[in-house]
Amino acid sequence: MATLLGRHLMGLVDTLRIEPTARRVRAALDGHPVLDTTDAFLVWEPRRVVPMYAVPPADIAAELVPTTPVDPPPSLPPVLGPVNFAWHTTPGQDHDLLVAGRTLPRVAFTPADPDLGGRVVLEWAPFAWVEEAQPVTGHPHDPFKRIDVLPSERHVVVRLGGVTLADTRRAVAVHETHLPVRWYVPHDDVVTELLVGSPSTSTCAYKGHAIYVSLAPGSVPGVAEGEGVDLAWTYTHPLAEVSAIRGMVCFYAERTDLELDGLAVPRPVTPWSSPADQERF
């Protein structure tokens, strides 16, 4: 029987996964070196969908101080992103990190699994990270993940509540492993008068820093105000690898009605879906 590879890989999410990397990895805190290693592992704790770096203690230029753990909530979502680092889903020891006269609470964790050889997982957010000589944002890149950016001539229409939000034949399709295809629409093909700016932002390790837009209150009859919050995003200064999406607008396919070449596309169910839809996730 054939194996549906994407489903198989996602079926491993509940396990502790590791992968050695040959990259030189460094991290610093406000210019103070924290670690420098050529012996790192990528580590995905159970439920985590993005990896973190685990490094030998000898390669950490800071003091590790054992501390008490934080118990995760009793009901965790099926998958966890790179936030709430202190919610550990595998046995191990939490540590505070003392560096440059500062104490960073619970930013280090030593999994008990012997296959990691005592390596210490470091939280990403407090530090500036460099792979070889390349600064990296968001989280380590996943060697089992790929992103393709493809200009498209397909007819892309985005609606909500029967109201057209975007209509284009100049979209850029972003294919990213384990995610729905994201259709980026030129700004001129978006009905911008229906949208307002949002204070929300996010960071993607592969695309850069995004800013969000929401539906203007009352702009779409029958759509509750909360349903239109952070409905779409744009990258004003994307990373070089995805420069083709600069300034384009992408709507959540999970929260809007997408049509490709005249055919309706079912809303995918992901962690970004509505709470009701996530019950099916």
The predicted-structure confidence for 222-253, as pLDDT tens digits, reads as follows 888 778 899 999 999 999 999 999 999 999 99
11 lies in the same domain as 99: yes
- How far is residue 104 CA from its own chain's centroid? 23
pLDDT of 10: 86
Selected residue with higher pLDDT from 3 and 271: 3
29 lies in the same domain as 123: yes
Does residue 141 belong to any structural domain of this protein? Answer: no
44 lies in the same domain as 129: yes
The yes-or-no verdict on residue 1 having pLDDT over 60 is yes
Written in H, E and C, the secondary structure of the chain is CCCCHHHHHHCCCCCCEEEECCCCEEEEECCEEEEEECCCEEEECCCECCCEEEECHHHECCEEEEECCCCCCCCCCCCECCCCCCCCCCCEEEEEEEECCEEEEEEEEEECCHHHCCCEEECCCCCEEEECCEEECCCCCCCCCCEEEEECCCCEEEEECCEEEEEECCCEEEEECCCCCEEEECHHHECHHHEEEEEEEEEECCCEEEEEEEECCCCCCCCCHHHHCCCEEEECCCCHHHHHHECCEEECCCCCEEEECCEEECCCCCCCCCHHHHCCC
pLDDT of 270: 82
pLDDT of 225: 72
125 lies in the same domain as 20: yes
pLDDT digits 0-9 by tens, 85-132: 999 999 999 999 999 999 999 999 999 999 999 999 999 999 999 999
Residue at a domain's end among 136, 167, 192 = 136
Q: How many domains does the chain have?
A: 2
- Write the CATH number for 243: 2.170.150.40
Q: At 200, is the pLDDT very low, low, confident or very high (cuts 50, 70, 90)?
A: very high
Does residue 57 belong to any structural domain of this protein? Answer: yes
Q: Which residue type occupies 163?
A: V
Q: At 271, is the pLDDT very low, low, confident or very high (cuts 50, 70, 90)?
A: confident
77 lies in the same domain as 118: yes
d(CA 88, CA 93): 10
Mean pLDDT of 176-201: 96
114 lies in the same domain as 193: no
- β partners of residue 63: 98
Does residue 114 belong to any structural domain of this protein? Answer: yes
155 lies in the same domain as 116: no
pLDDT of 53: 98
The yes-or-no verdict on residue 276 having pLDDT over 60 is no
Mean pLDDT of 18-32: 97
The yes-or-no verdict on residue 77 having pLDDT over 90 is no
pLDDT of 218: 87
pLDDT digits 0-9 by tens, 123-169: 999 999 999 999 999 999 999 999 999 999 999 999 999 999 999 99
158 lies in the same domain as 262: yes
The yes-or-no verdict on residue 279 having pLDDT over 70 is no
Q: At 269, is the pLDDT very low, low, confident or very high (cuts 50, 70, 90)?
A: confident
84 lies in the same domain as 191: no
Average pLDDT value over all residues in the chain: 94
Residue at a domain's end among 83, 107, 136 = 136
Residue at a domain's end among 105, 136, 167 = 136
Distances (CA, A) of 67 to 34, 164, 241: 19, 53, 40
16 lies in the same domain as 67: yes
Mean pLDDT of 62-68: 97
d(CA 109, CA 66): 9
Does residue 89 belong to any structural domain of this protein? Answer: yes
Does residue 142 belong to any structural domain of this protein? Answer: no
Q: What is the residue range of 259's domain?
A: 147-278
pLDDT of 128: 97
Does residue 132 belong to any structural domain of this protein? Answer: yes
153 lies in the same domain as 274: yes
The yes-or-no verdict on residue 281 having pLDDT over 50 is no
Mean pLDDT of 186-199: 96
Q: At 275, is the pLDDT very low, low, confident or very high (cuts 50, 70, 90)?
A: low
98 lies in the same domain as 183: no
Does residue 56 belong to any structural domain of this protein? Answer: yes
